[in-house]
Chains A and B, each alone.
Chain A
Amino acid sequence: MTARQLLRLLAVWLGVLFVCVVAISYSVRVDRALPPSGLYLVSVWERGTRTARSVVASAPKEVLVDQSARRGAQRIIEQLVDSAPIMGGSWLLLGLSVVPARDGVSVSYRGRTAYATPEDLRKLEAYEFSFVLGPLNLVLGIDVNKVLGALAQELGSEPRELLQHGSFRRFAVASDADYPRKIGEADVTRDSIEDSVRSAARYLARNQRRDGSFRYELNAVTGADSPDYNFPRHSGATYFLARAGNQLHDPQLARAGQRAGSFLKDRVTLRCGEHACIGEGDQVDIGSSALALLAYVELLAGGNEEFRAPALELAAFLRSQQRPDGEFKHFYSIAERRALDIQVEYYAGEAAFALSRVHRVSGDAKDLRAASHALSFLVTRSRWFLGSHYFWGAEHWTCQALADLWQRAPDRSALEFCLDWQAVNRNLQFQSPPAPAEYDGGITRGPFVPPRLTPTAARLEAAVATLEVARAAGVSPSELELIDHQIKRSFAFLMRYQFSPGPTHLMPKPRLLEGGFPGSALDLHVRIDYPQHAGGALLRYWELQPK
């Protein structure tokens, strides 16, 4: 082949490729910026179930009037903005062609059309589906089987038949449902933060059982509670409740915190050798004990003296797990009566923070030394590994330990570490535009999936702690402004999705969910750590605001 022939071949290839890419890209494109002008999909929802649907070209408020007038019924109107065909009769292409939390799917079959709107898909829990294809772990926009099942049922057909012979489209809608709320950075005020914190704490108090434990994970769209439980998360929720009770001077929250603390103290406190520890079974982790210790210190601050001795015992257990280099052995084998030198994310930061907090009530220099040593270990980065500036985890307790220790044992390296991490988090923040307005401020987990609330909230706890120290340490006003702006945008994102009251039309038991923070725009489950992290971060920021 001559050079001319090779260049000609490459030019033809590039030309064909360009045409293919443009044609495919435009044929599947949906323009969400268009003014809504399509059909209206009018739905009536009662106790979380869609009981009526009408598709009309105009006057949507004049249909399903009787049904929507029934007690507890809600009418939701979604108007088509734009739509595009879904290519081929392929299961995989159908799954890849829908944007989770934003698109609906319609199918025309034998002259009839059925619609699965974004509200329907949320209710079906049909957005996002993990799928393994060889070495690839793909996340499809929808659970194709669920969507096909629902559409086939609507059209009186079979899913396979529909996939082979139906004509599918995806569509964008403008909805009159007031969820997510339209909240921007300017709406993040001291009062709105206080409301949000109180509401999140009351969610936990409302979902507390008599023994002090919580409904662990509530599914908003079914009202069902998960049978699972997790002691670090129980401890974290207790810590938040106790803090909220103390800071907001709310006796109901304080009592709930005390009940949750008593659950830890009386029901799940074990002996780990000569020390007390929190957990169950033959092996415990230090995370449960560290978070329980944080909770006990808050409960003590609220005047619950019965938590003093257990707090000091847990502090002794944590210190006994610390290695000479400052790291901790994260597990303890009760059966073998020995610490296990195994590490996982979060626990070392939790232990550092808890030991710092308990020093305030113990006055024991050993607690302060252990906390300070652990913090120093956590923020040490090898100068020989350039990647240490680019690879970051989601560990968010270290910077809270930094803030708590700052007055007693200031650590400049730790401040630098936390400032660097916040700079990385700013890069991971969705920015609208080009991102959808409702995701602005959220921490991305990839360009094709909606951000989750809790990773954003947990990073916010660290961000606010970093801001607090940065102010005290005299960091430049421009950097303080950057962090503050980043924090407010993230809070706006969280508050947009808080159930205040949330998409109540999808919920069989909306009262139970009030104040909760869901997993994401499409994961409407509330696990106990979701309000804990979001509420905890908000409360930290509220404490920094001038009255």
Chain B
Amino acid sequence: MKTIIYTCPYVPAEWIASHGLRPSRIMPAALCSTGPLAQIEGLCPFVHSFINEVVTDKSACGVVVTTLCDQMRRAFDILVRRCDLPAFLMNVPHTWQSLAAQKMYVDELKRLSRFLLRLGGKPLSNDTLTRTMLEYDAARASILDARGYLSARQYAEAIAAFGRDGPAKTLNKEVSTQPLITGVPLAIVGGPLVTADLDIFDIVEQSGGRIVLDATETGERGLCAPFDRRRIHDNPLVELANAYFNGIPDASRRPNSELYKWLKRGLLDRAVRGIIFRRYVWCDTWHAELRRLKDWIDLPVLDIDVGGDSQAHQHRAPNRIHSFLETLQ
């Protein structure tokens, strides 16, 4: 089956899968400081790694990039010039309160559909879309339900595997029969992680904590809202668009008040006692939220800024996380 790669959470995997193609959400293995695109001052390390991952990809038949962040929008320009892989730039509106913005998102899905057909995708039918949505929804629900029974890393890996491989291989790890409730409850907040970053979850546990809220873009926050089964049958596309466009809170939305509402609920429900704020150097969108978050919440916040050099980060982060947790115990 032909694979379509992407990384943005606002790209509905169900939509791609319903065209008979395999959606695969990229989570680069590590931040790269080398690769076909050399390091550039001012470039977000994640965007840099994403570009290099796509340019060197041998398995995909197409890539979907979105306008969620300015540098990713511009990464598309690099991809179309440096890479033979057919690329699609999807407009994801930053405003979300107007009907026009929601309609634009739906129209962009229809345009994506035409792109997928050009790559050999099958014409879409409502039945296929409905069936696919139900399948993905069930898989997502099972991951969410398993949260308390998995280590934080396993939970993050399950979400990543779901994005990469789809619902078929969800939760192939052993799930504990007893709830795992040890450690100081922490949240991790920020943009997307790379696979190597999942070590943070282990470091937290080794230091006596536990990530109970993964509010990164590649974590729980990046999952769309559950589908309304009645509305799926009425109009699957509208329900899909609603669950993604209105169901994923992000720092890039304007206004981004929904992110704070979502965080407030999550932090309270899970009795979070501290926040690890993980951001990339040069990611203005998340960087600007750091002080606001600190002013907004009466919880300690540990700022971990990550540059392009993964190794330096790997050496620095454990000590800082350990010290942070010491103050919370």
Question: Does A associate with B in a complex?
Answer: no
Residues of B at the A interface (CB closer than 8 Å) are none
Residues of A at under 8 Å CB distance from B?
Answer: none
